[in-house]
A and B are shown apart, each in its own frame.
Chain A
Amino acid sequence: AQSVAQPEDQVNVAEGNPLTVKCTYSVSGNPYLFWYVQYPNRGLQFLLKYITGDNLVKGSYGFEAEFNKSQTSFHLKKPSALVSDSALYFCAVRGGYSSASKIIFGSGTRLSIRP
């Protein structure tokens, strides 16, 4: 069975510092990995995805994520945090050998950026 884990409920970072939001996964077959962001009273917004190719994926709002197959991780990163990055972040994975396999979301990590 496929699963995704976000080990940190909350991450606190000072504005201007680099940030990392952790994600690990377990799937059969090749993983398709995603990050979504949810601002208060808004729907989830797609940030970036890894399907194949370069392990470092760049997405919206200056975010990037690094796929690490040996560590089964897909951590979200940003070199310099902004207060406006404060939101709830979800990692998601689709694995398996069938295009019918479902996307599974993690439980979310609340990112708080202090001025």
Chain B
Amino acid sequence: GAGVSQSPRYKVAKRGQDVALRCDPISGHVSLFWYQQALGQGPEFLTYFQNEAQLDKSGLPSDRFFAERPEGSVSTLKIQRTQQEDSAVYLCASSSRVGQSTGELFFGEGSRLTVL
């Protein structure tokens, strides 16, 4: 497809389980971002990749969160030992520009994670 694709769209996990969320950015986009959006809130920055390099991971809330983009295209956000406070929508966005300056990000529909 032409847009950013995320899977799964919905994920229910038991507390303590590991989850993996996938993002397929728009082909050729060098920049990829992960955001966390809690109910009723705006997206919160998690991490940023430029091609395969993770240039900023300052928004990852704990060492249970890990993201990778090994070949500079598809990215995976992994959450280990999930906790209830991890319940949120995880948004992926990509951009053809380097960095975050231009702000014109293309977002996927998100992966809604519910931790029971």
Give me the interface of A with B, judged by CB distance under 8 Å: 32, 34, 36, 41-46, 49, 51, 90, 92, 94, 99-108
Contact = CB atoms under 8 A, between A and B. Distances in A.
A32 to B, nearest CB: 6
Contacts of A101: 100
A44 B91 contact: yes
Interface of B: 3-4, 35, 40-45, 48, 55-56, 58-59, 91, 93, 98-110
Main SS of chain A's interface residues?
Answer: strand
Given A43-B108, A43-B109, A100 B99 contact: yes
11 contacts: A32-B103, A36-B107, A43-B106, A43-B108, A44-B93, A44-B105, A49-B102, A51-B101, A90-B42, A104-B45, A108-B40
Contact of A44 (B43, B59, B98, B99): B43
A103 B45 contact: yes
A5 B30 CA distance: 30
A103 B103 contact: yes
Nearest to B44: A105
A107 B108 contact: no
A100 B108 contact: no
B45 A102 contact: yes
Contact of A107 (B40, B59, B93): B40
Contacts of A102: 45, 48, 56, 58-59, 100
A99 B44 CA distance: 18
A106 B40 CA distance: 11
A45 B105 CA distance: 8
Given A42-B109, A43-B4, A49 B103 contact: yes
Nearest to A93: B103
A46 B104 contact: yes
A104 B103 CA distance: 10
A90 B105 CA distance: 13
